[in-house]
A and B are shown apart, each in its own frame.
Chain A
């Protein structure tokens, strides 16, 4: 595998303190002095400083990557701390990028940290990526996944060390190299919105981004050193529950719309639209034919003694954490338990934040229920606006 850093360009020197710091690398023949200098010369962009970004950036900084670019616009939330180990309890409420930069700088002051406090968009992605040799995608949504992929291909095949996670499972690969497949070769189109739950909806084992983020960091370092076999053309599948690692062969698709022989995507597009996500008008009174009711409005109507049947469609283990006393029929059981519901009563459905209950309401409506509504914001919205004593998860 050819190294990415030009051998002809003068590599940066290491001072005595750096030689002491990187000693365990320097005595590895596969790294050595020259390899460590290549790491120092390298510029790596990490998109996202969350679950994957935390271990990824930590290890890259420790390894002595010369320039580490960070892209994030989010703030640290309490629910991040279970896995985003670069952020601490004291950082809750701070911009993630500041919290991350501080930790990385404390770990290794030799690393030049470049902060891009913005959402990566079609308007800025090429401009941001152009200054880097390698990109590591640690984002969490399909539009950004496709944006990062396309931007890497269109920037002249910048390698993209990729990983993604869901519950107990992860996938990792290296996309967008000159000869290897890109993300679109594997998945030409995104799933329709709502079909694949996010980590916020589906949950994720805290160690999982640790495993996969470290795989990404490993691939980045190997690409810079030009050593070993990279994950180019391979998809690594990690099942942490059964602790099984498998791999699948990936092929470059000659008909790929972005990296194929006759590409149809030659500039960045609207990725929200591509993924079927359209800006919501707020506050939407209706969504897909389902009335949306706010927690405050529902509370008012219940207090007024109106005949409203509230239904919870979350899972039993979520019900255990917090509930508002509504009967529970998990979304997946709904088709078999319709007979438990009265089609003549008004039914307001809730879940955690409103996604699953919207699907449940659409299903009930298709099944002949005339008067169903969705609790916008779910039990989380209820806890925010009606009963702040309830825990949020």
Chain B
């Protein structure tokens, strides 16, 4: 499946805008992503291993936090994950 990487995090995935991974669940997909690109890990997860509060992960157009099975939700090759970090720019 495809994981879309937002601009601020592309520096940690060799400047790609999407990364292809093989996974059965959302959690496995994120694991595969951080195994491929270990520098990304500290930007996505806290020291306790929890997904950081300013990073949202969407399975297609649904927030993973609101899916009944959350990160255990099964995925297929046709699904996509999007990482959506907060950005603040606009005025300066």
Contacts and interface: CB of A to CB of B under 8 A. Distances in A.
A248 B84 contact: yes
A169 B7 CA distance: 7
Given A142-B86, A197-B8, A332-B11, A191 B54 contact: yes
Contacts of B53: 187-189
A199 B88 CA distance: 9
A383 B69 CA distance: 55
B48 interface: no
B86 A248 contact: no
Contact of B6 (A169, A195, A235, A242): A169
B61 A169 contact: no
Interface in B8-34: 8, 11-12, 17
Interface string B53-66: 11010100111001
A191 B82 CA distance: 18
A166 interface: yes
B88 A142 contact: yes
B68 interface: no
A248 B90 CA distance: 21
A198 interface: yes
Given A187-B56, A189-B53, A139 B90 contact: yes
Contacts of B91: 48-53, 74, 138-141
B90 A196 contact: no
Contacts of A190: 54, 86
A26 interface: no
Contacts of A235: 84
Interface residues of A, number: 49
A249 interface: yes
B78 interface: no
A92 interface: no
A250 B62 CA distance: 8
A140 B61 contact: no
A142 B86 CA distance: 9
A166 B11 contact: no
A49 B17 CA distance: 31
Contacts of B17: 242
Contact of A251 (B12, B63, B85, B88): B63
A67 interface: no
Interface in A155-198: 163-169, 171, 186-191, 195-198
Contacts of B58: 248
A198 B89 CA distance: 6
Contacts of B39: 335
A50 B92 contact: yes
B90 A51 contact: yes
Given A187-B54, A195-B43, A249 B90 contact: no
Contacts of B11: 332
B74 to A, nearest CB: 19
A187 B90 contact: no
Interface of A: 48-53, 74, 137-142, 145, 163-169, 171, 186-191, 195-200, 202, 204, 209, 212, 235, 237, 242, 246-251, 332, 335
10 closest cross-chain pairs (CB), A and B? A50-B91, A140-B91, A189-B53, A48-B91, A199-B89, A52-B90, A166-B87, A191-B54, A187-B86, A140-B92
25 contacts: A48-B90, A48-B91, A51-B90, A51-B91, A51-B92, A52-B90, A139-B90, A164-B89, A165-B90, A166-B7, A166-B87, A166-B89, A169-B7, A169-B87, A187-B56, A189-B54, A190-B54, A196-B85, A196-B87, A198-B88, A237-B82, A242-B17, A248-B58, A249-B62, A332-B12
